[in-house]
Amino acid sequence: MRRNIVAFRLSIGFCILMLLTVFTNLGFAQGEEAPQQLYNFSYFQVKPGMALEFEEFVKNMIPALKEMGVTQMNIFKTSNFGIANKYVAVTPLRDWAAMDAELSASQSNVPVALISALSAISRMVVSTHDFMLIPQPDFNIPPAEGYDLKLVVKYTAGTAPGREEDFKKGLKEAVDAIGKTDIKGVLIGKVGLGGNLNEYIMYILYDSFTEMANNAPAVQKELAAADLTSLTGVVHYMESEVLVRIPELSIQPATQMSTVESKKDFDNKAVSLLRNAAVAQEAYYVDNRSYTQSKDELFDKRYGLRPLEKGLHINIITAGKNRYEMETFHDNGTKIYSIKGPGGIIKSKPKEN
């Protein structure tokens, strides 16, 4: 049993973080970093129908993580394009001595709470995968200071052995071309231990799907004009997916928090409610072949929505056999968020005080 617990430790970083270790500078820090900070990417494939429960599990761990001194962590989820129910946790790599200490820990020192947490998460997760990511700052286009990660287009490229320098040349040309368009930034990393050592990962940062779509023609134009070095025989494969950062599951440094950040926290609660309400509408539709305009029906415990906290509001504007429209906001937030479903995207507008 001890071997199983130790192995699972290495694949559920934030769970272990809460109960055994304290990471330093978790997440993609936007300020100055120590040279060559190595990152840990943790992939979680959640079972169908258990996404809300998984997110609630992570959310409930946040206070304990903060109590242990965790200051930053970023959680992402695939959105519309990519493998459904896939979550990504980005954290800096712990020091090696902490890992050695875990491996040498006796079974008697394993907290009961950890065993319970492992049992809970194993019920929700199909598989996990951890690997090291080595930043490539020479290729990055850093976002503006204080920028909050929102939506990223993630590309994974597999290079041919022995052709890394050729790939880097082409990559640099491509990033320079993309940087001439309306993007928020580009982050590049090379996969290390735990993954394919010939892989590179590129994050292109956007604020929204609309911004991404509007910028696509400019990206294509600049890439065509750049007369890029041919990567035929250099790149074996290229995969893409779209990830959105989930603010309510992430942790940011206290030094970055202010009155504005607190407003964002309230807005994030409204976004989270709207996202979960859309999932609940789809679950209701499966049972009733129609969407509901009743809050009581939508908040039935079968559909996974928690009772509204004070100050948080949801309005079901319309709902019927084929469509629904809802909006959410928080009294202390700055925006009203809306969605038209099925298949719609979340939009926002300023909230009048």
* Residues near 212 by beta carbon (within 8 Å), at least 6 away in sequence: 151, 153, 206, 242
Cα 64 to chain centroid distance, Å, stands at 20
The 8-class DSSP code of residue 290 comes to S
> What pLDDT, on a 0 to 100 scale, did the predictor assign at position 322?
93
Out of 57-71, 93-107, 307-321, pick the least confident: 93-107
- CATH number for the domain formed by residue range(s) 1-257: 3.30.70.100
Sorting pLDDT into bands at 50, 70 and 90, what band is 213? very high
Q: How confident is the model over 62-75, as a mean pLDDT?
A: 74
Dihedral Cα 177, 180, 182, 187, nearest 10 deg: 60
Reduced to 3 states (helix: H, G, I; strand: E, B; else coil), residue 240 is strand
> What pLDDT, on a 0 to 100 scale, did the predictor assign at position 59?
86
Crossing angle, helix 51-67 and helix 112-124, to 10 degrees? 150
Q: What is the pLDDT of residues 124-168, one digit of tens each?
A: 888 889 888 888 888 888 888 778 889 999 999 999 999 999 999
Do residues 314 and 297 lie in contact, with contact meaning Cβ atoms separated by under 8 Å? no
pTM above 0.75, yes or no: no
> What pLDDT, on a 0 to 100 scale, did the predictor assign at position 114?
54
Portion of the chain with pLDDT greater than 70, in percent:
78
pLDDT > 80? residue 71: no
Sorting pLDDT into bands at 50, 70 and 90, what band is 335? very high
Which two three-digit tokens encode residue 99?
């890992």
> What pLDDT, on a 0 to 100 scale, did the predictor assign at position 290?
95
> What pLDDT, on a 0 to 100 scale, did the predictor assign at position 36?
64
